[in-house]
Amino acid sequence: MSEPKKLFIKTYGCQMNVYDSERMAEALGGQGYAEVSSPDEADMILLNTCHIREKAAEKVYSELGRFKHLKAEKPDLKIGVAGCVAQAEGREIMLRQPMVDLVVGPQSYHRLPEMEAQVSSGRKALDTEMPEEDKFEKLKARPKAKRGPTAFLTVQEGCDKFCAFCVVPYTRGAEVSRPVERVLREARDLVERGVREITLLGQNVNAYHGEGPDGRDWGLARLVRTLAEIDDLKRIRFTTSHPNDMEDDLIAAHGDCEKLMPYLHLPVQSGSDRILKRMNRSHTRDSYMALIERIREARPDIALSGDFIVGFPEETDQDFRDTMDLVERVNYASCFSFKYSTRPGTPAADRGGQVPGDVASARLIELQALLSRQQQAFMQDMVGREVGVLFEKPGRHPGQMVGKSDHLHAVHVTAEGLKPGDLRRVRVTSAGANSLAAELV
Ligand code: SAH
Ligand code: SF4
Ligand code: F3S
């Protein structure tokens, strides 16, 4: 057998890109590639990119610049760009960086094997089509190798919401859900390979409406409940949800489906109705607060998380105060917050009312300070409590294992005989900046 060719993939952006990178590596595995952890030894480098903010997109070009010397030393080295920058910029990437051999969008990477062959024969390859066909069905069956205890599984892609700031509806296309049976098949397969926790992914995962085995439309709650019947699957999570798609049965599932973990990422973006309207979010501050209340009724100890944008065009100090006030009221377990970044082609890009950069930066600092106080308080509150932990890998100290709690906190325990995949009850003994220490009970 010939030596495998070496593939280096670097992944930016959201969890869906992490999942896509796995599938791309598998697709190229069929072409004789094995993954390596450094670009220096690679025969092919693939950047799986994110277009969400300007900085994310620009990183791609600076990274490509760094590969120039590698290409000079090894003219056979192939360089590809995948993901959302590939979708948004297409051929432009090859014009700006002629050493790029291959550009493939997130909806066409099932064609990677053919594209790789084309590149190997000395031609460039570009595909940013958004075909109707289900790319996951066109990809070869996933390999059977053993894997770690946690996995992502994409069940829904794309977005029809068109928030005024966001590129996702353009880079990922319209909302599409995978049929229930295909999701179940992939989930069972993952569990057979050792997976104990699955995180269902979608740009709007709770807008999932897949065709059920009965030919009817199944929502996410029904999918979750059916997945929960797989014995050796111990935990289910999903992300990212949109407030408008949080249907009653999904809220109920948080109360009565034991395998569904008490953690929910439910971005609101702003606490000001005026800004929410300009963002085209189609929910209000009050409707969001009412939703949070219902979710907490169903699952009182749920850890809530969210995303915020500060400095959206025309955001006043009062609008920002409204955001701070909403955060105070919700009390989040953890959050992501960003300074607004103008994205070409989105509705907000052509509007006036830009907030000066230093004002937006000051708001971001203030918001992040509040969010981090809440995060610390939530972690402190775990001290003395008993939680479940799914152990994933050895920690930094001898005899230590680390895993995630039900509430998605990183937890480390020092104990004999623990191995990856063990799901154990622990008592939290102390809270650090980013993780909890615990002992087995
Ligand atoms: N589908 C998800 C996540 C979309 S992207 C959702 O609807 O919540 C992840 C986060 O990036 C968004 O929630 C938003 O907070 C942030 N984001 C998106 N576009 C942005 C932009 N132009 N500038 C700054 N942050 C942005
Ligand atoms: Fe972007 Fe809004 Fe769609 Fe989320 S819901 S992906 S923020 S357009
Ligand atoms: Fe980024 Fe695309 Fe995900 S823009 S956040 S990689 S959907």
pLDDT in tens, 199-244: 999 999 999 999 999 999 999 999 999 999 999 999 999 999 999 9
Same domain? 281 vs 146 = yes
Position in ligand 1 atom list of the atom nearest CA 308: 15
Q: What is the dihedral of CA 381, 387, 393, 397, to 10 degrees?
A: 50
Three-state DSSP state, 113: helix
Same domain? 216 vs 110 = no
- Tell me what pLDDT residue 170 has: 96
Average pLDDT score over residue span 269-297: 98
- Tell me what pLDDT residue 3 has: 84
Return d(Cα 158, Cα 127) in angstroms, integer: 18
Same domain? 356 vs 390 = no
Q: For the chain, what is the domain count?
A: 3
- Tell me what pLDDT residue 140 has: 84
Same domain? 315 vs 171 = yes
- Tell me what pLDDT residue 261 has: 98
Among candidate residues 87, 111, 127, the one where a domain is terminated? 127
∠434-384-407 over CA atoms, to 5°? 50
**CATH number of the structural domain spanning residue 368:** 3.80.30.20
Same domain? 123 vs 211 = no
Q: Identity (one letter) of the amino acid at 334?
A: S
Average pLDDT score over residue span 272-278: 98
Position in ligand 2 atom list of the atom nearest CA 172: 6
Tell me the CA–centroid distance for residue 280 and ligand 2, in Å. Answer: 10
- Tell me what pLDDT residue 24 has: 97
- Tell me what pLDDT residue 23 has: 96
User: pTM for this structure?
Assistant: 0.97
Residue pair 158/176 in contact (Cβ under 8 Å)? The answer is yes
Using CB distances shorter than 6 Å, the residues near ligand 3 are 13-14, 16-17, 50-52, 83-84, 167-168, 171-172, 203
Same domain? 162 vs 223 = yes
Residue pair 179/132 in contact (Cβ under 8 Å)? The answer is no
Among candidate residues 127, 147, 165, the one where a domain is terminated? 127
Q: Which CA distances in Å does 89 have to 83, 114, 164?
A: 10, 21, 19
Same domain? 349 vs 215 = yes
Ligand nearest to the CA of 171: 3
Same domain? 75 vs 187 = no
Average pLDDT score over residue span 132-155: 91
Same domain? 422 vs 325 = no
Return d(Cα 131, Cα 173) in angstroms, integer: 10
∠375-314-87 over CA atoms, to 5°? 75
With cut-offs at 50, 70 and 90, classify the pLDDT of residue 1.
low
Among candidate residues 127, 147, 173, the one where a domain is terminated? 127
Whether the pLDDT of residue 418 is over 70: the answer is: yes
Structural domain including 221 reads: 135-381
Return d(Cα 3, Cα 63) in angstroms, integer: 28
How many residues in the chain? 441
Ligand nearest to the CA of 60: 3
Q: Which two tokens stand for residue 214?
A: 């009965």
Nearest Cα residue to 384 out of 306, 436, 433: 436
**CATH number of the structural domain spanning residue 402:** 2.40.50.140
- Residues of the chain above pLDDT 70, percent: 100
With cut-offs at 50, 70 and 90, classify the pLDDT of residue 62.
very high
- Tell me what pLDDT residue 239 has: 98
- The DSSP element (H or E) to which 393 belongs, if any, is strand 386-394
Q: How many CB atoms lie within 10 A of CB 91?
A: 12
Return d(Cα 417, Cα 264) in angstroms, integer: 32
For ligand 2, atom 5, name the residue with the nearest CA: 161
- Residues of the chain above pLDDT 90, percent: 95
Same domain? 327 vs 431 = no
Same domain? 377 vs 394 = no
∠202-88-11 over CA atoms, to 5°? 55
Q: Which CA distances in Å does 184 have to 153, 225, 236, 238, 434?
A: 10, 11, 13, 15, 34
Q: Which two tokens stand for residue 410?
A: 């990183």
Query: Is 159 annotated among the ligand-binding residues?
Result: yes
- Tell me what pLDDT residue 57 has: 86
Same domain? 111 vs 141 = no
- Tell me what pLDDT residue 143 has: 86
Whether the pLDDT of residue 192 is over 90: the answer is: yes
Comparing 139-143, 161-165, 177-181, which segment has the lowest mean pLDDT?
139-143
**CATH number of the structural domain spanning residue 115:** 3.40.50.12160
